[in-house]
Amino acid sequence: MTQAFRYQSKRQKRICWMTDLHLDQADSNSTSQLLKKLEGEEYDMALITGDVASSQHLSEHLTMLAKACGSRPIYITLGNHDFYGSSITGTRQLIEKVCRQVPNLHHLSNGGAVDLGNRTILVGGDGWADGQWRGRRTKDINSPDHYSIRDFRGLNKWERLRKMRALGQASAVSIINRLRPALRFNRHIYVASHIPAFRTSALFDGKPCDANHQPHFVHAQLGAILIWSAKSNPSTRFTSLAGHTHSECKDVVLHNLTSIVGGHRKHRPDIQGILAA
């Protein structure tokens, strides 16, 4: 069910940002420490930009995280890992069911812009690596997505790339539909999604990813929307938040557009930071 998430405060909300927690692979001590931090840190709302756990563990882990946030809302976008062991439709149905059961849990793909106060908003969507690249043919990389997400099983390289492009397009359209009405009225817009929107912030071995990885690491259609939005609204600041590559990166794309990608330490889920600006 679509709902608008609204706050009434003039002060800007502080966001406790997490990404790529991969709680189904985490050691229990690190998970307990994360939950304690979520209970003790000072923030107004939590945000997770995908890859919480594989589909069969998603409900249990999201419920646990939401409980640790207490009465504070927690907003999520799904990452590719969250679909593992299920289908895209099945996982989306699951997340809506969990959001109905857990009052402070909200799926950003299914809601309006979140008003953070001080003319700042948060919009978001699940996002997909959309199979795009420039130049010559790329080598196919061996991604677990190909067999762990039911929709990709049995597809050849070209069928997969077509499907990724269509999923990326649907996600980009859904984000722009939420972004467009808010463009003129806000001074700062956070756009949360799982996949980095720019090749320059999607790192592999410490460098912007190459042509072989770009189709699987970058949501290029979201990048195009962010560039267009930032250029046509030069006095509005845009901050893109993502994960997926597990490599921290802060990339100033334009004077008013910054792309921030969170990192991941294997088996050690943690908070990326508290955002307020």
Size of the site for Fe ion (CB under 5 A): 5
CA–CA dist 240, 244 (Å, integer):
13
**To the nearest whole angstrom, how small is the minimum distance from the Cβ of residue 51 to Fe ion?**
4
For residue 80, state whether it binds Fe ion (rule: CB under 5 A). yes
Report the half-sphere exposure of 206 (CA within 13 A, side-chain side): 0
For residue 262, state whether it binds Fe ion (rule: CB under 5 A). no
φ, ψ (nearest 5 deg) of residue 199? -60, -35
44, 51, 126, 130: residue in contact with Fe ion (rule CB under 5 A): 51
66, 149, 244, 251: residue in contact with Fe ion (rule CB under 5 A): 244
Stretch that binds Fe ion, among 50-58, 98-106, 124-132, 252-260 (CB under 5 A): 50-58
Report the half-sphere exposure of 156 (CA within 13 A, side-chain side): 1
Stretch that binds Fe ion, among 40-48, 58-66, 127-135, 243-251 (CB under 5 A): 243-251
SS3 273: strand
12, 15, 18, 20: residue in contact with Fe ion (rule CB under 5 A): 20
**To the nearest whole angstrom, how small is the minimum distance from the Cβ of residue 166 to Fe ion?**
18
**To the nearest whole angstrom, how small is the minimum distance from the Cβ of residue 19 to Fe ion?**
8
Structure tokens at 210: 């190459």
Q: Are 109 and 174 in contact (CB under 8 A)?
A: yes
Helix, strand, coil shares, percent, the chain, to 5: 40, 20, 40
Q: Are 88 and 40 in contact (CB under 8 A)?
A: no
**To the nearest whole angstrom, how small is the minimum distance from the Cβ of residue 151 to Fe ion?**
16
Residue number with CB closer to Fe ion (208 or 262): 262
Stretch that binds Fe ion, among 130-138, 209-217, 241-249, 268-276 (CB under 5 A): 241-249
For residue 196, state whether it binds Fe ion (rule: CB under 5 A). no
For every residue of 86-103, DSSP letters joined together read B-HHHHHHHHHHHHHHST
23, 38, 43, 79: residue in contact with Fe ion (rule CB under 5 A): 79
Question: 192 - beta bridge partners?
Answer: 124, 241
Q: Under the rule (CB under 5 A), what is the footprint of Fe ion?
A: 20, 51, 79-80, 244
